[in-house]
Structure formats: structure tokens, C-alpha cells
């Protein structure tokens, strides 16, 4: 049994190295893979100790480790069910405003995850040329420029007119993306002498794994029946994004944000 746990620990370490090479060592939550590796090593160690019947190890310690691990797996499965349920929802059609959630950018360009979102935004624009896109994302540690500015440049070069894009450059996480973009929409409506009501349709455009949390934040922020426009996830980052999103959902409920 311990061989399985040690193999899983090795897989976590290798995946940590893959993420660091692919997306950068500053990728959020990247350290969780080293934590998981440590847990698997402990579980393998406890299994070996138990098989050899060595003394001196507190009996409750392996029980605590195993119980915590399997409870975490149950919570992970539950949150992934919630995520996949929202990811399958029908995309919003003909929205007045679409909030595009930002993602990582690099010195030599945008991340693959962000490119997938922006390509979907451009596709949506070609079908709905009157939609205004709120490009949301500030300048996080390691970003050469604010995410919103990189998003604006990408879409502008693809042919989206300036009048169809508004930038929100203060947010640093999904919750702020949603709340700060709400303010941008309110200001734009006031500029045109309008008020937010049921006739103003909105949608959130983000990766499918991020849709559940984004829509919950939108409901709390005051969006009226927001729709969702999901994009597929970068396959290299898929396991990491699932684990990261699970942790973020649990933390959101514990903090009363969802």
C-alpha cells in the first residue's frame, strides 16, 4: 500500500515541476502539490510503520491523517459536482454587457487560459456586435502590465472596436473581478442616462471550472440574473485548476462570500 502513496507523492512533485515550467513558479496555489506530496509520503510512512509493528508512534496520528485525507477527497468531489453542473449551462445570448475574467499574463504574451477566454469573447462579439465587454484584471505580482490592458490589446488587434470594450484594472481575484466590474457597468449606464434594471442583460465569461464561483459572486454583487459563457480549460492546468477552484469554493463558503 505504501508504494501507491509514495508513487502518488512522486506524481505530485512532478506535476508541481510541470506547472512551474509551464505557468511560472508564482502560479497561485502551486504549493498545494508539494503539500499533497508531503501528505502522501506521511501516509506511506504510516502504512509501513504499521505493517512492521514499530512502537513509539501516536496511534491517533495516522487516524487523523487518513481521516483528513478522505474527508478532503469527499469535499473535493462535492465541489467538482457543483462546478461541472454550472459549466454545462447554456451560454447567455445577446447580453448587453459581458464581464471577461482575466488570467495570467507573461512577459512574452498572455497565458493559454486567457487566450481561450479572449477568443471566445471575440467569437461572441461577431455574433453580438452591440455587446460591451468589461475586461477585468489588474496587475498582479509578476505581470508586466495589467491583465485588462493585455486583454484590450488582444481583442483590438482581432478587430473588436474600442467602443465595445471597457477596462477594469484594479481587481486581483475573481471576487474583485465581479464586484469591480459591476461598478464599471453602473458608471457606463449612468453615462448614457440609464439605470440598472431587468432590461439590462449581463453575462460572465470565464473558464468552465470558474463559472460556479463567478456566478455566485455575481448574484451577491447585484447582477440581475447573470448568464454564463464558459470556455474549456487548458488541459495542462486542468488538474491544478480543479484543486485550486475546490479550495476557493470551500474558502468562499467559510468566509461567507458565496
In a domain, 92, yes or no: no
Residues 235 and 113: their CA atoms lie apart, in Å, by 9
Residues 175 and 73: their CA atoms lie apart, in Å, by 25
Query: Which residue, of 87, 108, 137, is where some domain finishes?
Result: 87
Query: Which residue, of 87, 120, 152, is where some domain finishes?
Result: 87
Please tell me whether residues 70 and 124 are part of one structural domain.
no
Q: What is the mean pLDDT of each run of 10 residues along the chain (258 residues)?
A: 82 93 83 89 70 54 72 84 72 89 87 92 95 94 88 96 96 95 95 87 92 92 90 85 87 85
The CATH number that applies at residue 110 is 3.40.50.620
Please tell me whether residues 129 and 169 are part of one structural domain.
yes
Cα atoms found within 13 Å of the Cα of residue 5, Cβ hemisphere only: 17
Residue 202's pLDDT is: 94
Please tell me whether residues 44 and 101 are part of one structural domain.
no
> Closest Cα to residue 80, out of 236, 251, 233, 245?
245
Cα atoms found within 13 Å of the Cα of residue 235, Cβ hemisphere only: 0
Please tell me whether residues 15 and 115 are part of one structural domain.
no
Residue 102's pLDDT is: 93
Query: Which residue, of 63, 87, 111, is where some domain finishes?
Result: 87
**Owner of C-alpha cell 445570448:** 93
pTM for this one? Answer: 0.83
Q: Return the SS3 of 105.
A: strand
Domain ranges, residue 203: 97-254
Please tell me whether residues 163 and 241 are part of one structural domain.
yes
In a domain, 39, yes or no: yes
- Rounded to 10 degrees, the C-alpha dihedral 197/216/238/119 comes to 10
**C-alpha pair distances (Å), 107 with each of 27, 111, 142, 148, 206:** 14, 10, 9, 15, 22
Please tell me whether residues 75 and 131 are part of one structural domain.
no
Please tell me whether residues 141 and 246 are part of one structural domain.
yes
**Owner of C-alpha cell 512574452:** 108
**Residue 230 exposed, middle or buried by CB count within 10 Å (0-12, 13-18, 19+):** buried
**C-alpha pair distances (Å), 100 with each of 17, 59, 142, 205, 250:** 29, 51, 21, 5, 23
What is the tally of structural domains in the chain?
Answer: 2
Amino acid at each position: 500500500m505504501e508504494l501507491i502513496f509514495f508513487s502518488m507523492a512522486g506524481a505530485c512533485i512532478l506535476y508541481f515541476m510541470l506547472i512551474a515550467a509551464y505557468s511560472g513558479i508564482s502560479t497561485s496555489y502551486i504549493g498545494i502539490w508539494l503539500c499533497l506530496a508531503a501528505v502522501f509520503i506521511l501516509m506511506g510512512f504510516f502504512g509501513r510503520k504499521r505493517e512492521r509493528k514499530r512502537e513509539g508512534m501516536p496511534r491517533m496520528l495516522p487516524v487523523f491523517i487518513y481521516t483528513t485525507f478522505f474527508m478532503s477527497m469527499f469535499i473535493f468531489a462535492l465541489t467538482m459536482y457543483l462546478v461541472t453542473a454550472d459549466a454545462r449551462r447554456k451560454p447567455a445570448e445577446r447580453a448587453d454587457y459581458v464581464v471577461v475574467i482575466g488570467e495570467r499574463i507573461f512577459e512574452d504574451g498572455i497565458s493559454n487560459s486567457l487566450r481561450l477566454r479572449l477568443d471566445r469573447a471575440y467569437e461572441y462579439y461577431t455574433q453580438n456586435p452591440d455587446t460591451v465587454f468589461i475586461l477585468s484584471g489588474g496587475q498582479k505580482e509578476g505581470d508586466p502590465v495589467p491583465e485588462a490592458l493585455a486583454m484590450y490589446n488582444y481583442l483590438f488587434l482581432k478587430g473588436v472596436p474600442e467602443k465595445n470594450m471597457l477596462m477594469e484594472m484594479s481587481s486581483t481575484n475573481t471576487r474583485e473581478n465581479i464586484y469591480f466590474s459591476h461598478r464599471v457597468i453602473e458608471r457606463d449606464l449612468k453615462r448614457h442616462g440609464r439605470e440598472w434594471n431587468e432590461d439590462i442583460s449581463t453575462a460572465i465569461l470565464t473558464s468552465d471550472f470558474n463559472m460556479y464561483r463567478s456566478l455566485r459572486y455575481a448574484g451577491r454583487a447585484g447582477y440581475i440574473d447573470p448568464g454564463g459563457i464558459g470556455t474549456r480549460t487548458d488541459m495542462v492546468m486542468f488538474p491544478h485548476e480543479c484543486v485550486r477552484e475546490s479550495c476557493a469554493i470551500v474558502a468562499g463558503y467559510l468566509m461567507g462570500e458565496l
